[in-house]
A and B are shown apart, each in its own frame.
Chain A
Amino acid sequence: MDGTYTGVVDRIEDGEIAVILLEEDGQVIEQLDVAADRLPEPARTDGGVLSVTLEDGEIVSMEYRPETTRDRRESTQEKLDRLSKRLSDREE
């Protein structure tokens, strides 16, 4: 697996292992588990979107993408707000 992919920090397990989901065309295609202290800041504490470059399946670089992270968070929040309502506000 080679090339540069969009990677999202899905979660950090037990404070130690960062789970990064690589995407292609809006679908997750692979998962990388890396030591959390390898993540670039601020992804180490706040997750977000990265550019992950692989050579022969090995990570050679991870770069934090602040604008993509911000845009994605805004659009996801807007979608969630548009689609959802509070259970307590539901009319029976």
Chain B
Amino acid sequence: MVRLVDAEGQVVMEHGYGDMEGTESDGGTGDETADTDDETDNETDGDTQSTVDGELEIHHIDVGQGDSTLIITPANETVLIDSGDWRQDGSAVIDYLEAQGIDRIDHLVATHADADHIGGHAAVIEHFERTGEGIGAAYDSGVPSDSATYNNYLDAVDEHDVELLLVERGDELPIEGDVSTQVLHPPAETGSDVNENSIVLAFEFGDFEYVTTGDIDTDVEQQLVEELGSDLEGGVYKVGHHGSSTSSSEALLDTMAPETAIISSAYDSQYGHPNDVVLERFVERDIETYWTGVHGDIVVRTDGTATAVETEESFSTAPEDILEETPDADETTSRLPPSPLVAGDVASGIDGAVAPALG
């Protein structure tokens, strides 16, 4: 079942989760789950409990306009998927990890080479290699970027002798224990487009499923829907491309059928993320929606059967309320920089980040 808890730890909502497969075993008293037959397999007898041990945690770190997700496995392995925007230079991520008492990243993933995803990679590698227990291995899509941000990440890999592994569909990340991590994308033969070749990962732990799609667009989503079908199913969807209209197609949502969606973007995203069209799709499908822009850090915890979400800030998880809260489309469009652009104005989209002082 899903239990939504606000910042003070107060339970704000509960509902059945994973009951599609008849594995709900928490009794679920007091929630709205329809149960017309007391003799159903909802009885708790131990056999219906998922067979995995321990707890999986997925921390969506609020890095403003960017992505960074920390996963802590029951075996205490750490997976860091992306590291925020270049302007933070890893500081938000490093601070968060330190606060969690983490001194080692076992698996450092770059979903793709854009500077709002790998912006902290070099700093994170340097920090944990110099002051902590280091980086176990780094994983990359194999599609490079022209940016200095990407080059600095490769230099940090080089300097600290980090094992750098290119992944492709069919691979499984070598994570210990009961957590399965399948690579669904990119294919072995990638083109040169960074976004289109983002690493797509599907995590499974007991009955819990979580899918994260980087910045793939709707064409790639369609391809995955056609080629993978039900393998794309996931209860929790880390929303592609910060909620952009280029992603989260109806085809993807209908195939994945997520109950929960998690968006990572700044409250006043300079790119209009999350897009209203995407939020409307969530409304139509009644998908409970979390957004770092209003919820801050968003932590999903699961024992493989029951799942709980904790947020740093209290806010509704009804997608219609998120839709209401995002700046309207006209306002967003007017943020498009006039021509010519004044340098420095663009830094305002990143929470708490200050563009470096220019000499």
- Residues in chain A within 8 A of chain B (CB atoms): 1, 8-11, 13-17, 19, 21-23, 26-35, 38, 47-49, 54, 57-60, 69, 72-73, 76-77, 79-80, 83-88, 90
Majority secondary structure, A binding face: strand
Contact B272 A30 (CB under 8 A): no
How many cross-chain pairs have Cβ atoms below 8 Å apart between A and B? 141
Cβ contacts under 8 Å, B51 to chain A: none
Query: B252 an interface residue at 8 Å Cβ cutoff?
Result: no
- Residues in chain B within 8 A of chain A (CB atoms): 86-87, 114-116, 139-140, 142, 144-152, 154, 157-158, 164-168, 170-171, 173-174, 194-195, 244-246, 270-272, 275, 336-337, 339-344, 346-347, 355-356, 358
Contact A32 B115 (CB under 8 A): no
Contact B148 A26 (CB under 8 A): yes
Nearest B residue to A34, CB-CB: B341
Contact B114 A15 (CB under 8 A): no
Contact A57 B114 (CB under 8 A): no
Contact A8 B148 (CB under 8 A): yes
Nearest B residue to A26, CB-CB: B148
Measured CA separation A1–B151 after assembly (Å)? 25
Cβ contacts under 8 Å, B195 to chain A: 11
Contact B168 A88 (CB under 8 A): yes
Cβ contacts under 8 Å, B165 to chain A: 84-87, 90
Nearest B residue to A6, CB-CB: B148
Measured CA separation A23–B217 after assembly (Å)? 28
Contact A49 B146 (CB under 8 A): yes
Contact B87 A31 (CB under 8 A): yes
Measured CA separation A55–B348 after assembly (Å)? 21
21 CB-based A-B contacts, threshold 8 Å: A8-B148, A10-B115, A11-B195, A14-B246, A17-B271, A17-B336, A27-B152, A30-B358, A33-B337, A34-B337, A34-B339, A34-B341, A57-B343, A59-B340, A79-B151, A80-B140, A80-B144, A84-B166, A85-B165, A86-B165, A87-B173
Nearest B residue to A90, CB-CB: B165
Contact B86 A31 (CB under 8 A): yes
Contact A83 B336 (CB under 8 A): no
Cβ distance A87 to chain B, nearest Cβ, rounded Å: 4
